[in-house]
Amino acid sequence: MNRKFILSLFLCFPLGLFAQTTVSVKNDQDAPVINRNIYGHFAEHLGRCIYGGLYVGEDSEIPNIDGVRTDLIEALKDLQIPILRWPGGCFADTYHWKDGIGPLEDRPTIVNQWWGGTTEDNSFGTHNFLNLCEELGAEPYLAANIGSGTVKEFADWIQYVNHDGTSPMADLRKENGREKPWGVKYWGVGNEMWGCGGNMTPEYYANLYRQYATFMTSWDNETGLYRIASGANVDDYHWTEVLMRDVPNSLIEGVALHSYSFVEWGDKGDAVDYNEAQYFSTMQTALKMEELVTKHSEIMDKYDPKGEIDLIVDEWGGWYEVQEGTNPGFLYQQNTMRDAMIAGVSLNIFNNHSKRVKMANLAQTVNVLQAVALTDGAKMLLTPTYHVMEMYKVHQDAQLLPVEFDSPEYTFEGESLPAVSVSASKDSTGVVHISAVNIDSEKENEVEFDLSGFDIDDFNAEILVSEGLQDHNTFDEPKKITPSEFKDFKFKKGTLKMTLPPFSVVVLESK
Ligand code: AHR
């Protein structure tokens, strides 16, 4: 090798001039809009998600609005949380909504049979949840009890929250202090009906779904109802096939899908103290979401070629062993850079599949599973996952810019995963946003974006990165991981080049 060549190699590599990966970004006017509801959340009566998390009660010393902690309300508003699913999860099919309305002293207690066997006093009910959604500016998504409820109970709930005239349930609502209906559009017809919702077969549930959906009266033609069928567990394609085959399109607006990321279902490992093998398997399950939404969408395409029914990923996120010393039924876990990686790649997948995927709900909002916030008494911290969702909120309601590229590989003990994940969008003012993730635990990756079809002068960028993969925010150091300015990129003549550090998330905004 001659000296000149060696010198040019030496000069070029540190500047990132030899990009390993070229991402072509298409300015496609026909591409779908990324539904803001892809950035949705899920809050269940589980552990300290509602009681002792969101809801501390009006008499609490912790500052609150109608019993919901103010710091959390502010944090969720900053996320521009578009939609919130409640009250479950498995809890939904045990919940009788009338237990949670009316004077507090008259409300019966219940035992949370799925989650820790705790006794709840029903102080957080329908009014509290729907008022909270109004405060947040978020759409409520109510998951109804099909497993142990009745058609009448469900129909009454809809009348209670949506009827604007004189009717038994509207009158009851008014007696309980709420004159105007809330106008709830999104309704889940049961949850995980293949499991905790009743261990049903898809054929049985499809019939039951038809029955319940028939008695779901909108009462308000402006809002209308958006009915979501309880969907498949991970890769149970048969479930989706039967639902799409047996439920007439006129009775359904969305089909759900649940898929969590973990090391192994039977041995989930610690949320913080994990090794590379465990990190790799978690990312394997997270990236499987690409295959899941592709295959479930293909089945839906067959029965619904016009794309009228949406795929709703209403539970996703990382699931590990509970933090030592905490109630096993409370699913409390810390949140590290691994969770930031799960959030980044999952949201990119949902964005890129936004033709069919119209909603996704991270499990769960606070103190449970892959939470965006953790609380300890009056203290609250925002997790790395929060920061990813905050950085990505720019994609809400923006037009997708389809991307094409071959990712470099992240290899561990002979197995490989795509290291780089990307999605891009253009908002209503023409600003382009690109979100890029490098999941490789050790290697940086150089990525080049071909943006020749765009009129862009330059970019601003933010990065979420940390020194250690297991790094996380604690109550003593709540700001260890926060986004910072990202400078390691160059934009020239329509080409954007950058070096993504190991396990990092970058979001760029065009100028
Ligand atoms: O999010 C925790 C639980 O996971 C939900 O209650 C259930 O739907 C799922 O299995």
Rounded distance between C-alpha atoms, residue 241 and residue 296, angstroms: 8
Listed residue (147, 245, 228, 148) closest to 185, CA to CA: 228
Residue 89 has, within 13 A of its CA and on its CB side, a CA count of 28
Weakly modelled stretches of the chain, pLDDT under 50: 1-19
Q: Is the CB of 278 under 6 A from ligand 1?
A: no
3-state secondary structure of 184: coil
Q: Please report, in angstroms and rounded to a whole number, the separation of the first and last CA atoms in the chain.
A: 42
Task: Label the pairing between strands 310-318 and 254-261.
Answer: parallel
Rounded distance between C-alpha atoms, residue 123 and residue 110, angstroms: 11
pLDDT at 462: 98
192 is catalytic: yes
Q: What is the pLDDT of residues 343-385, one digit of tens each?
A: 999 999 999 999 999 999 999 999 999 999 999 999 999 999 9
3-state secondary structure of 421: strand
Ligand 1 atom nearest residue 90's Cα: 6
Active-site position among 44, 120, 139, 192: 192
Q: What is the pLDDT of residues 138-189, one digit of tens each?
A: 999 999 999 999 999 999 999 999 999 999 999 999 999 999 999 999 999 9
pTM of the model: 0.95
3-state secondary structure of 42: strand
In Å, the largest CA–CA distance within the chain is 89
pLDDT at 80: 98
Q: Is the CB of 315 under 6 A from ligand 1?
A: yes
pLDDT at 447: 97
Q: Is the CB of 365 under 6 A from ligand 1?
A: no
pLDDT at 504: 98
pLDDT at 169: 98
pLDDT at 328: 97
Ligand 1 atom nearest residue 92's Cα: 6
Radius of gyration of the chain (CA): 23
pLDDT at 453: 87
Q: Which domains, and CATH codes, for the chain?
A: 12-28+402-510 (2.60.40.1180), 36-397 (3.20.20.80)
pLDDT at 1: 38
DSSP-H helix ranges across 47-89? 70-78
